[in-house]
Amino acid sequence: METILENFDDLWSGGDPVTRQRFFLRTITPMIVSVTCYVLFVELIGPAIMKNRKPIQMRKLMTIYNFSLVIFYLYFLFRGAFFIPVLGFNFICGSLNENETPIIPEVFDLGYQLYFVRYIELLDTVFLVLSKKNNMITPLHVFHHAIVPVFGFFGFRSETSGYLAVFMALNSIVHIVMYTYYGIAAMGPEYQKYVWWKKYLTTFQITQFFLMTFYLLIMSSIGCITSKLTFAFSFFLTVLFFFLFIDYYRKIYNRGEKKSEKNGIYKNGTYKNGIPEAYKNETKKLE
């Protein structure tokens, strides 16, 4: 039994030795406690507290919050781009060794910043609970927010190659678009006419997971140096989210378009008043 536990521990104790000693990564406890408290609050505690209370007006806070995340992800992409001329693209498929390349600690530090921000993003749902926008808190929303810190923990604890940098870059681009959308939506009803493109944001998210799955298959086929644990976890999540977002798209937009056609809003391939009814329903949730 002791040997089995030791072997299991080795699976998620092979990452960068410096990064493994940082907060949220030194032990599994902070991650487990944070994710558990998040799920309990948004599913049980928060709704119970707000049940007989008026919604807390958080429009300004949510606007600042969303655009601050846009700024961070822009910083992440620009900062990461400076590593490419030094490292090239060989680091994606090989092991990162700071003895060979002194800039490696900075690469892991930037990755850790992204990992830490994932915990800040949990506030997104907390704000929705406090403002009583419970119709926006779907199982997919909660699961997506909760599982990312879990994946990040095992990724940083076990992975020493750079292939996840492609994941981070693509996901950052998606988050820039996503938080721009939510930032504009949070500004108030007068800005709703600028957020008619939620459908295309969801399509972009689906495309992201398709590209990630395809990328993982390529990494596997050419024999990249990766952690087996992280690789398996990555592949499972990308495939799972690909189908979950497709299901979300089908339920929200296909249903909305059929309802619009039935009500005579959709005629000859165009919508009256310029904005599809499904988009209006989505943006109303943000008001």
For the stretch 211-227, pLDDT in tens is: 999 999 888 888 777 77
Is the residue at 115 inside a domain?
A: yes
Q: How confident is the model at residue 119 (pLDDT cuts 50, 70, 90)?
A: very high
- Strand partners of residue 267: 270
Q: How confident is the model at residue 150 (pLDDT cuts 50, 70, 90)?
A: very high
Is the residue at 267 inside a domain?
A: no
User: What range does the domain containing 201 cover?
Assistant: 17-259
Instruction: Find where tokens 């620009």 sit.
Output: 78
Is the residue at 216 inside a domain?
A: yes
Q: What is the pLDDT of residue 210?
A: 96
The pTM for the full model equals 0.84
Is the residue at 284 inside a domain?
A: no
Residues annotated as catalytic are 144
Alpha-carbon span 10 to 164, nearest angstrom: 20
Is the residue at 287 inside a domain?
A: no
| Statement: residue 127 has pLDDT above 90 | yes
For the stretch 3-14, pLDDT in tens is: 444 455 555 666
Is the residue at 92 inside a domain?
A: yes
Is the residue at 3 inside a domain?
A: no
For the stretch 179-238, pLDDT in tens is: 999 999 999 888 888 889 999 999 999 999 999 999 998 888 887 777 788 889 999 999
Q: What is the pLDDT of residue 4?
A: 45
Q: Of 3-12, 45-54, 160-169, where does mean pLDDT reach its minimum? A: 3-12
Phi-psi region of 216 (alpha: psi -120 to 50; beta: other; left: phi over 0): alpha
Whole-angstrom CA distances from 258 to 202, 261, 275 are: 18, 5, 15
Alpha-helical segments (H) within 21-163: 29-40, 46-50, 59-81, 84-87, 104-120, 123-130, 139-158
Q: What is the pLDDT of residue 23?
A: 92
Q: What is the pLDDT of residue 98?
A: 57
Is the residue at 8 inside a domain?
A: no
Alpha-carbon span 105 to 97, nearest angstrom: 9
Q: Provide the number of structural domains found in the chain.
A: 1
